[in-house]
Chains A and B, each alone.
Chain A
Amino acid sequence: MNQTLPLKSWIQHQANRFAPALFFISLVALWELICQLGNVPNYILPSPSAIITAFFNVEFSRWMTHLWATLRVALMGFVLSICIALPLSIGMMRSELMNRILYPALIVIQSTPVVAVAPLIIVLLGTDDPSRVLITCLITFFPLVVSTTTGMLETPPEMIELSQSLRAPRYRETWQIRIPYAIPHIFSGLRVSITLAIIGAVVAEFVAAEEGLGYFIQFSTSFFKIPQAFAGLIFLSVISLLLFKSVQWVQIWLFPWSLPKKKL
């Protein structure tokens, strides 16, 4: 801690630093207060303390079972959509014809509400993981395709001229210039996609599942265990947040040069 700092500015500094946390804590406190003072019944709006109690009333192993079910589907769908989006983007970037054919198809898929299609996919592929992974994949791959393609097309034209002046093979232009240039874009796509993957997995569980956090929330709600449903919801949000952060950590770890430059 900087000792030379006057006390007043030190307090200001600390207040700034913890402002988000303070805001969050006061919000929760306010919520608790409203529930306690207004005698709001737990089945309408459970108080934070009731939610915490409900969370610990559920066995840890049960939480893990549900978490694993959701996480498994979300991550499989996420990885699958990366595997689809990357080659698709490269194809669309390199071939005008492919771009003209695929782009409208992608728009159609993206405009179709996946929630509405989900039951049909379950009918088509059954009630197991494959249909859930497909639903997740359908929700997540569009932002990835868009960001990857945009990134590759935004490569400085001089770099492409450098490549052409060397008469390098086109696959090297793609791998040594365009894809690395797209890394910042790809990662912003991945950050959007990973949170969508959780949404996709939950949507799939709402339609047909016997386990998973989405299923847990729905099941708790239907038995009027509202504090328990809230506990599941908050757990899900925390997981989603952690996944979002992990994507950022991967970028910092593998591609430190791709981060926005800090202005000193």
Chain B
Amino acid sequence: MDKLSENASDDFLGNSSDDKKAAYVSLKGVGHKYDPSPDTPMVVQNIDLDIHRHEFVAVVGPSGCGKSTLLRMVAGLLIPSHGDVSVFNLPVTEPRDDVGIVFQKANLLPWLTVRKNVLFPLKHKYGSYSANDEKRANELLEMAGLTQFADKMPDELSGGMQQRVGIIRALLLNPDILLMDEPFSALDALTREQIGFDLLDIWKEHPKTVLFITHSITEAVLLSDRILVMSKRPGTVLDMIDVDLPRPRSQKTINSPRFAELTDLIRGYIYEPNTPA
């Protein structure tokens, strides 16, 4: 059985322009506290967010503002105590098959080769994988420029290469939604910029609905279509900013005046005068 065919949402939804306008991932009045008692503070509250299909949305905010909590709600790993999360009009009550997650650290299994790490989601979910699946893993490895590292162990790879493996592992099941939880924060600045552009290339060729959590304002502006700016805890929506920079984005984008305007605008929210960092 070809396990990949289970993710047939692409065929089902088609690529008509109507879908692009409809909310694909939707959060309505979402709030969360880990303990129902009234004394417990909310982690996030009153979050409204609509993400369109194949849109790239970044979430920025000070650390501890509940950005990652938001991601876990969309992933179905955490059910919010208040409000509703839905994907394609269906409430999210458990993890979905069409969601891939990229974590802060690459989180590769140190006892598996790079190729087996990429195939791990299938091995873990179904217990085995087919020759077809292996072909797909090889294609993904080639896309990420990792073919010659396929049989190496993760600790033989640089941090940037490890995170590439983390990304293509999330793409293995061909998810429609890609959730990225500060995926590049452990990387050095140069690697970080390059892998960001690479991610955009992948996204262009294989459109996904992306929710990208980051604490880097420039990264958010450089990569995304829209940016959700969150306040410090309890996290609320401060603004939703349209990033009207032309695509494809490149090094030139960073030097454009509009880029500076947008980053300044967001900085204004994050570093409020009366809130010491």
Contact = CB atoms under 8 A, between A and B. Distances in A.
Interface of A: 156, 158-159, 161-168, 172-173, 176-177, 180, 183, 255, 257-258, 261
B123 interface: yes
B142 interface: no
A172 B76 contact: no
Contacts of A159: 107, 109
Contacts of B72: 161
A180 B109 CA distance: 9
Contacts of B104: 158
Contacts of A167: 94-95, 97, 125
A109 to B, nearest CB: 33
Nearest to B155: A261
Contact of B109 (A161, A177, A261): A177
A258 B153 CA distance: 12
A10 B132 CA distance: 58
Contact of A161 (B77, B123, B127, B155): B77
B75 A165 contact: yes
A139 B77 CA distance: 41
A158 B124 contact: no
Given A257-B153, A258-B111, A164 B127 contact: no
B33 interface: no
Given A158-B104, A257-B153, A165 B76 contact: yes
B124 A168 contact: yes
Contacts of A163: 124
B59 to A, nearest CB: 18
B105 interface: yes
B140 interface: no
A28 to B, nearest CB: 42
A172 B124 contact: yes
B107 A162 contact: yes
B109 A165 contact: no
Contacts, number: 56
B103 interface: yes
Given A165-B76, A257-B110, A172 B127 contact: yes
Interface string B92-135: 00110101010111010111000000001101110100000000
Contacts of B109: 159, 177, 180
B73 to A, nearest CB: 12
A214 B97 CA distance: 61
Given A158-B104, A177-B109, A165 B99 contact: yes
A-side binding surface: helix, strand, loop or mixed?
helix
Interface in B56-110: 72, 75-77, 94-95, 97, 99, 101, 103-105, 107, 109-110
Question: Which 6 pairs of residues, A with B, have the shortest CB-CB distance?
Answer: A158-B103, A165-B95, A166-B125, A168-B124, A158-B107, A257-B111
A180 B76 CA distance: 26
Most buried by B among A165, A166, A167, A180: A165
Contacts of B123: 176
Contact of B101 (A156, A165, A183, A261): A165
Given A177-B109, A257-B153, A261-B155, A166 B95 contact: yes
B67 to A, nearest CB: 15
B77 A164 contact: yes
29 contacts: A156-B107, A159-B109, A161-B72, A161-B75, A161-B77, A162-B124, A164-B77, A164-B95, A165-B77, A165-B99, A166-B95, A166-B121, A166-B124, A167-B94, A167-B95, A167-B97, A168-B124, A173-B124, A176-B124, A177-B109, A177-B124, A180-B109, A180-B111, A183-B111, A257-B110, A257-B153, A258-B110, A258-B111, A261-B155
B95 A255 contact: no
Nearest to A163: B124
A108 B70 CA distance: 44
Given A164-B77, A167-B97, A258-B111, 7 more contacts: A158-B104, A162-B121, A165-B77, A166-B95, A167-B95, A180-B111, A257-B111
A44 to B, nearest CB: 54
B120 to A, nearest CB: 8
A158 B125 CA distance: 16
Contacts of A164: 77, 95
A255 B111 CA distance: 8
B125 A162 contact: no
Interface string B236-277: 000000000000000000000000000000000000000000
Contacts of A183: 111
B110 to A, nearest CB: 5
